[in-house]
Structure 1
Amino acid sequence: MGVPTRSWTVLYRMYRQIIPMVHKELKVWREHAKTIPNDTFREQALLGVYEKSFHCEGGGAYAMLSNRNQAAAVKFIVAYQTICDYLDNLCDKSDAQDPDDFRAMHEALQQALDPEAERTDYYRYREEKDDNGYLHALVDACREAAQAMPGFSSAQPAMEELSAYYRDLQVYKHVKEEDRLPLLKAWFERHEPFLPSMYWFEFAAATGSTMGLYSLAGYAAGDEISEETAQQVKNGYFPWVQGLHILLDYFIDQEEDRQDGELNFCFYYESEDEMVARFRFFKAQAEASLRELPHPAFHERLNHGMMALYLADEKVQTQKDVKQTAKRFLKLGGAPTLFFYLNSWVFRRKTKRDPAS
């Protein structure tokens, strides 16, 4: 079975193959999360697998790149994304806002990509430590899946590069409010010489996506790949595709973040017109970079699907200004995005009905 290239074949395989596999893995982590004795750890773990299951569904789409070895790809992607969502929840709920604590916990993501690394105490800066082995089990699941991927050793350096960006963002965006912007801007300045021209907050957005990492996992699970191909895949997703992904995520959360006083990268555009222009630019750059990849049509379909899922989110319907701008973005996406937009209710209905079964 080859890699699908048409919108309807992507959707068909998502519903028939990928989503059932994803939810089978999520059920394992949901049951483990229920056994966590610490209230905070248990609550945030369960919130991750219930409320953010769509992250695993979307990431799981990249298992279609692996053909006969989809099980290893799905196992890796679900476990890795579950770590991301669990730790993001813990950081959000942290009163101490200690960057050392955040970095220590996110060592789990680094060690998940290194089967030879010694596991550390991820909670060493916290009084509470008992998660009943939850985080270690997730790390071990990633490692086991990675060892079943023929191309993992070649893909690992590129995967680690993207993971390191993500881990840094999780530290800097969760520290005390007065420290966030100085840290984020200084971080951007260190990387700016190696980046195409962009704003600091656009770089931060690009680091917050796991799409490139999961694309690499899909290829690595399917067959041996060269390090050159892995770097090509990484460059195909970072920064433009990943930036578009997270900017759309922040775009639909504007009202909620404004009410809660949360960081939102879309707030730093000078006007709505500038934001729309930059989104248009990111989309054009993303499409150009994806055309350079193996199986370009597949990657383009997933990019359109990603845009559609965000633009069809029910949060958009409750924000008048956002809804109007979303219509402009939908036109920008063209017919493929419209196709996924019209079909996205299936995702939303399934998630509402049984978010982690």
Structure 2
Amino acid sequence: MKKILLFFLVALLLIAPLSACRKEPTPSPSPSPTGGASPSPSPSAPSGGGEGGEMKMGLGIVASVAKSKNAGEADGAAQTDMTIAAVVLDKDGKIVKCVIDAVSAAIAFNKNGELVTPPSTEFKSKDELADEYGMKKASSIGKEWYEQAQAFASYVEGKTIAEVKDIKVDEQNYPTGADLKSSVTVSVGAFMQAIEKAASSAQDAPEGLSEGDALRLGIVTDMSKSASATAEKDGTAQLTVTVAATTQNSGGVITGNIIDSCITTVAFTKSGTITTDLSTEFKSKNEMGEGYGMKKASAIGKEWNEQAKAFSEYVVGKTLSEVKGISVSEGGTPQSEDLKSEVTISIGDFIKAIEKSAVGG
């Protein structure tokens, strides 16, 4: 009998530690009652887990006229080089979507201060030009500009802005890392600046935006306000670039939109000499905010950036065909009561830019 009792005591002593060490199953996190962010997927997990409200969307523009030159025996040129980047960030600040494009526009004038480039000229972006841009033949890796821009955009996806700023480049901003320079040999300095601007200005994305939505850019240029020089007044080469960054879901519905615009101006004399400081840094209208100075003259007391944002919010939830159907006056101002109470500026180029950045009817 004593042997049987001893056997049971030993058995109990062996079983007890096993029970104490058994791991309880970890409960799945319950949804936040306020719609807060759920844990983001690991980099190797398929995208599509993020939703608007826990994500941010931003647009950045970098503009330079440094390559402009005076007229002489050859025509002068007011050259604008503008690089644009749009990003979608997850709740941890990682880039989940990135697109990059650029405009290189040279407005020619002669030694008599006369415009040579017709004011009606519209410049295509480098992405629109595609193979017409003509970089592939001279490229050491046989890649066109748009292919290299796409490769860089893909490279930064999954990175934070701190990691993007840490990308290794040489003194002329050409990539030096073996993992990048095999697909990108163009200077990436302006790419990085535009991405940094896009991320630093990023705002909460609409609730309907998802990581799986497509992100595109649309760019519209206008130089119609350019003018030749006279004896009394310098000539002006003015380029207005309107940009739309748009996300769409698989059904073609716009889930996110940002609109911005940047104006570059180069003045020149009757003898074709440039008078503008070519090191000038041009800010976009969104960057200028109230510094743009529209609010005082606005019938609704709203600054340009406020009206652009109101229009962006208005088009979210619409398809491209619905955006194209927005009623405007001959001057391009909105006609519908629900919109003109918030937006009184011309939206013609806004709509054109969205058309370029979206797909559908």
Same fold by TM-score greater than 0.5: no
Higher strand share: 2
State which structure, 1 or 2, has the greater radius of gyration over its C-alpha atoms. 2
Instruction: Give the TM-score of the pair, scaled to structure 1.
Output: 0.28
Q: Which has the higher contact order (CA 8 A, sep 6+)?
A: 1
Instruction: Give the TM-score of the pair, scaled to structure 2.
Output: 0.28
